[in-house]
Amino acid sequence: MATAHSKSAARMMIAPAVFVLLVWMLIPLCMTLYFSFADYRPMRGIFEAWIGFKNYESFLTSSSFMKSLLTTLWMVGGILTITITGGVAMALLLDKPMFGQGIVRILVIAPFFVMPTVSALVWKNMFFNVDNGLFSYAYEFFGAQPFDFLSQAPLLSIVIIVAWQWLPFATLILLTAVQSLDSEKLEAAEIDGAPAFARFRFIILPHLSRAITVVILIQTIFLLSIFAEIFVTTNGAFGTRTLTYLVYQRVLESQNIGLGSAGGIIAVILANIVAIFLMRIVGKNLDN
């Protein structure tokens, strides 16, 4: 229904949301932009309003930046690999006929609802800890030396923690997609003599490709901003400093606002690139 009355009402009704988000986007972002072109180190009382692109230069050329990019890549890549392959496997498994499927789903979904600080601390102390963690007991039980996860493989540790949290998400999404697969296609293939793996490769996987893409994109957006888990376990040390964490440290720990802001802008640009791909898929779906 579209009358002049309802159209103007609609404009008024949507205004608060648009206004509020606009302010949220513009003001802080513009401030960050502004600071990125300044030399501002409050702890040392330095403030120079305009130094051009020097912050960007030094941020981009610093060794910490390249390392943080790699760290981010490894972390996000590792988590994605585990969650996607695990998610596909779990989704296929949960789709099979079984007893107590509802309960199994609940068990699998649960980790997603645990707050990041809790899961990080529980894993850090009760599983990874080299003296008292469960994994150490397991190692000793099998006669091996306990492996100090957090100091010997900190990145892997964090990957495990976050993958544990996000595997349920991927599973749920992929399960929804698997359940939308028309069983007739699979049956036809079976009748045609296709073995299980071929059925998986040529029918199931292509059908899931769209869902997998969505999971990858959405998870990437969220994974780029992993914070609490790092904060609470390694505080960015031992090669676990992602781009996000690097910017955080520059801004709040070393208080080099100018440098940190430049880093923040760079992070925004990188995130936008991922977002554009996601928006295209979502946009296509909105047309339906």
Q: Does 196 bind other proteins (CB under 8 A)?
A: no
Determine which residue in the list 50, 52, 63, 113 makes contact with other proteins, applying CB under 8 A: 113
Of the candidate residues 81, 132, 151, 254, the single one contacting other proteins (CB under 8 A): 132
Q: Is 271 in the site for other proteins (CB under 8 A)?
A: yes
Smallest gap from Cβ 264 to other proteins, in A, equals 4
Q: Does residue number 151 form part of the binding site for other proteins (CB under 8 A)?
A: no
Instruction: Show the binding pattern over residues 66-95: x = contacts other proteins (CB under 8 A), - = does not.
Output: ------------------------x--xx-
Work out which of 51, 60, 69, 104 binds other proteins, going by CB under 8 A. Answer: 104
> Per rule CB under 8 A, is residue 281 in the interface with other proteins?
yes
Are 55 and 37 contacting, i.e. CB atoms less than 8 angstroms apart? Answer: yes
**Nearest residue (CB) to other proteins, 25 versus 198:** 25
**What does the per-residue mask of binding to other proteins show for 202-231, with x meaning CB under 8 A?**
--------xx--xx--x--x--xx-xx--x
Could you say which residues in the range 33-62 bind other proteins, by CB under 8 A? 35
Q: Which two tokens stand for residue 128?
A: 């990874």
- 41-44's contacts with Cβ under 8 Å and 24+ in sequence apart are 41/255, 41/256, 41/257, 41/258, 42/255, 42/257, 43/255
Task: Pick between residue 84 and residue 218 the one whose CB is nearest to other proteins.
Answer: 218
- Between residues 124 and 158, which has the closer beta carbon with respect to other proteins? 124
Q: Which of 125, 151, 152, 254 binds other proteins (CB under 8 A)?
A: 125
Assess contact for 259 and 246: CB atoms under 8 A. no
